[in-house]
């Protein structure tokens, strides 16, 4: 299925429009097919169009379409291009959507304590220091380059953490705080840059205190 240069160029342009660098893709064409592959985390994302009959085309793809189909027929070449545009958008999401499981594991590892926190409560001096750091962290979140919903969620988390510190032991409070930020980063679906900014701010606030 040898395509015209203009047809191949259109595939190239659609990848660019989707935000994908075409140099990350490989193309192959035979007598009855044209295929584009993009590797995403060792998974082969592919789009292949076959000449099914004289007046129709068969498409094979991964990830599948909205109906979960990975092999189906279309009648018009314009339909092929529409399907490719949707596929390219899906591949873009696979390329750049953060792996929330990996981010949670990385966050937990980042805050792994160097020593086991104690079961005693904060002294008045320690509590004042913790709450002071939380106020600074809250101010940092207020000015951080984050979506508004994320800022509000993180600010609320720091406010709750200040209250929790008054009643929990150091061990329970640290576990609560780590779990809270892991859950927040995962539920807010922050991109890697935004998640990194949150981790940096938290680490700056507590790196030398009760999180090591």
Distance, in Å, from the CA atom of 186 to the CA atom of 103, rounded to the nearest integer, reads 7
Query: For 73-101, how does the pLDDT look when each residue is reduced to its tens digit (9 = 90+)?
Result: 999 999 999 999 999 999 998 887 767 66
pLDDT computed for residue 211 by the predictor: 47
Predicted local distance difference test score (pLDDT) of residue 208: 52
pLDDT for the residue 64: 75
- What per-residue confidence (pLDDT) applies to 205? 78
Residue 42, pLDDT score: 78
Residues of the chain with pLDDT under 70: 54, 66-69, 98, 100-117, 207-212
Check: pTM over 0.85? Answer yes or no.
Answer: no
**Per-residue confidence (pLDDT) for residue 178, from 0 to 100:** 80
The pLDDT, as a whole number, for residue 166 is 92
């Amino acid at each position: 299925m040898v395509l015209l240069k203009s047809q191949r160029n259109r595939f190239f342009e659609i990848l660019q429009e989707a935000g994908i660098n075409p140099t990350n893709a490989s193309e192959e064409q035979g007598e009855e097919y044209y295929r584009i592959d993009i590797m995403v985390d060792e998974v082969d994302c592919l789009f292949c169009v076959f000449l099914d009959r004289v007046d129709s085309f068969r498409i094979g793809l991964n990830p599948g379409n909205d109906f979960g189909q990975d092999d189906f027929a279309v009648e018009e070449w314009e339909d092929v291009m529409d399907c490719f545009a949707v596929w390219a958008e899906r591949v873009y999401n696979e390329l750049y959507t953060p792996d929330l499981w990996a981010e949670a594991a990385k966050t937990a590892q980042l805050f792994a304590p160097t020593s086991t926190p104690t079961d005693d409560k904060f002294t008045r001096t320690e509590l004042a220091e913790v709450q002071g750091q939380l106020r600074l962290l809250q101010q940092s979140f207020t000015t951080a380059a984050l979506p508004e919903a994320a800022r509000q969620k993180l600010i609320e988390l720091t406010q709750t953490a200040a209250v929790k510190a008054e009643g929990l032991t150091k061990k329970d409070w640290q576990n609560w705080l780590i779990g809270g930020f892991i859950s927040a980063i995962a539920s807010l679906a922050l991109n890697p840059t935004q998640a990194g900014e949150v981790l940096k701010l938290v680490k700056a606030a507590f790196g030398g205190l009760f999180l090591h």
